[in-house]
Amino acid sequence: MASLLKASSNVLRFEKLPFLSRSKTRQGVVPKKITFRLVPIALSLSTSIGTVEHDLRSNSPNITIPIMVNGCTGKMGKSVIQAADSAGLYVVPVSFDAEKKSGQTVEVCGKKILVHGPSDRESILASVFQEYPNLIMVDYTVPATINDNAELYGKVGVPFVMGTTGGDRDQLYKTVEESKVYAVISPQMGKQVVAFLAAMEIMAEQFPGAFSGYSLQVMESHQAGKLDTSGTAKAIISCFQKLGVSFDMDQIQMLRDPKQQIEMVGVPEEHLSGHAFHLYHLTSPDQTVSFEFQHNVCGRSIYAEGTVDAILFLAKKVKSNADKRIYNMIDVLREGNMR
């Protein structure tokens, strides 16, 4: 992932081109060629399905921070397991998923994880937590389940890190606050992206109106399976609006077509199934000055690494008997290097 701030005067050639959006075709001033600078983040995993009997009592001699990944059958869950294993964390061989996946096993990094359905998950989680009192739960599930999941974690009392997006966020925070458990909740787990967002928010707060009159074009490219507009893009646009830029969210150009992603923005073919490319282009009223903010992510390792840091952060808070409350990735960043 690379974050780029680039200022230029009379550098880019512009011409009138139709600007694509979800709502309708707009006329706008856009660069003749859009260039994304790439820092690839590769991820390789091997998975298989088999049968395994699991015993919650592990013989591992140094289980300092045991974790349980809810959503281990998904790509993000598997990425977190790989990153956690590399960091020396102990992955408890138990997970939850939909009833149709109950009884399946997922093998990641040579670890066989038995998947349980929703019917018996409260008793299983309670047993796991009793066996591993330092357990940190990790949630990478789906938007439809996060509220029920948070209620479960609160009822059992297990600390958790949640990177799942969507759901009823107001209810989510209300549930966790009332349960008084340790939690890190963030829809964006990439620490560097979070730092960029924080810098944008500081700039917007301290220099409101600094870009008044500037026009803005936004393009975001994600894997075809992501149907909604990037929440990160919306957050950055909100900062630009505070800086005086007039821009509607429906003007965001969403790229989901693999052919366009390869040809227009240079997404490597091997990362079409998992990437996040963002470009924000500002132009002065007289078109003599332009700025570009850009960040590109290939793969999921940036989010998995950030999740591991959040786990280490939360474990530290639990150990020090810090306040039981909801933390976010800004709190994790402020803590400094966790490894």
- The residues assigned a catalytic role are 222, 226
DSSP 174-190: HHHHHHT--EEE-S---
From CA 169, how far away is CA 19, in angstroms rounded?
32
Q: Which pairs count as long-range contacts for 228-234, CB under 8 Å and 24+ apart, including other chains?
A: 228/166, 229/22, 229/254, 230/276, 230/278, 231/165, 231/187, 231/188, 232/188, 232/193, 232/197, 232/276, 232/278, 233/278
DSSP bridge partners of 7: 291
Question: Structure tokens of 328?
Answer: 């976010």
Question: Structure tokens of 77?
Answer: 């869950």
From CA 167, how far away is CA 148, in angstroms rounded?
10
Question: Structure tokens of 151?
Answer: 């209620």
Beta-carbon neighbour count of residue 289 at 10 Å? 15
The answer to whether residues 175 and 326 touch, using CB atoms and an 8 Å cutoff, is: no
Per-residue b or e along 26-41, where b marks 16 or more CB atoms closer than 10 Å to that residue's CB:
eebbbbeebebebeeb
C-alpha dihedral (303, 304, 310, 314), degrees to nearest 10: 150
Instruction: Please report, as a single letter, which amino acid is at residue 277.
Output: F
From CA 282, how far away is CA 211, in angstroms rounded?
9
Q: Which residue has the tokens 């693999």?
A: 258
> What are the backbone angles phi and psi of residue 281, rounded to the nearest 5°?
-120, 120
